[in-house]
Amino acid sequence: MVHKLLNVKRLSRERSAGAVLFSLDNTVGKIEYLLLNYTAGHWDFPKGNIETGENEIHTARREIQEETGIDDVEFFKDFKNKIQYYYRRDERLIQKEVIYFIARTNTKEVKLSHEHNGYSWGAYEKTLSLLTYKNAKKILIEANIFLEKILYDVYVIIESSCFMFIRTCKGSLDSIIDRPIIKKLVPFLAAFAKSPPCLPNPGE
């Protein structure tokens, strides 16, 4: 019993927050995710400890800025996921909880902090294979499903609007397709027609 009490006293708790940071090429609907290579050797998302006076979003935003130099970040607050794990530091057992959000940026240039050796922008498959830990892979899988569902919904709306626009326009089909708004949308629609998002069955 004494041994168990000593173990409980040595247990510390930490809470962190971070984000699955992505960039989207609007012309082709292509998502790329950012991973950081930490000095310990593993690949993971930007994250860090929640400081006094911060909420989880504030922490995630600050950590992204400090670790990557990126400050134009838009959070998707409908996505919030949590992982827990244990690790040891100075013979003390730490119970770690990390809250993850999804965030978008238009900045691809990364300025690494001293905590990292490198970084990678990559498509879903590349990013999934590069991640070191299984719990991080699970976060990416769920984030990718969330984002592809959004993109699919946007595709359906744009496709419907595009065809309605064409039907109401006067002139030849070539002259309509040559209009700037259609020329911007065609690559996006073509990319999805060629490789649509793989959505899960609702029952899965």
Residue 153, classified by CB atoms within 10 Å of its CB into exposed (0-12), middle (13-18) or buried (19+), is exposed
pLDDT at 154: 60
Mind listing the pLDDT tens digit for each residue in 130-169? Answer: 999 999 999 999 999 998 888 766 655 555 555 555 555 5
Cα distance from N-terminal residue to C-terminal residue, the chain: 44
pTM, two decimals, is: 0.73
Q: Which residue has the higher pLDDT, 67 or 174?
A: 67
Residue 165, both tokens: 């626009």
Mind listing the pLDDT tens digit for each residue in 107-118? Answer: 999 999 999 999
For the chain, domains (ranges, CATH) are 2-132 (3.90.79.10)
Does 73 score more than 60 pLDDT?
Answer: yes
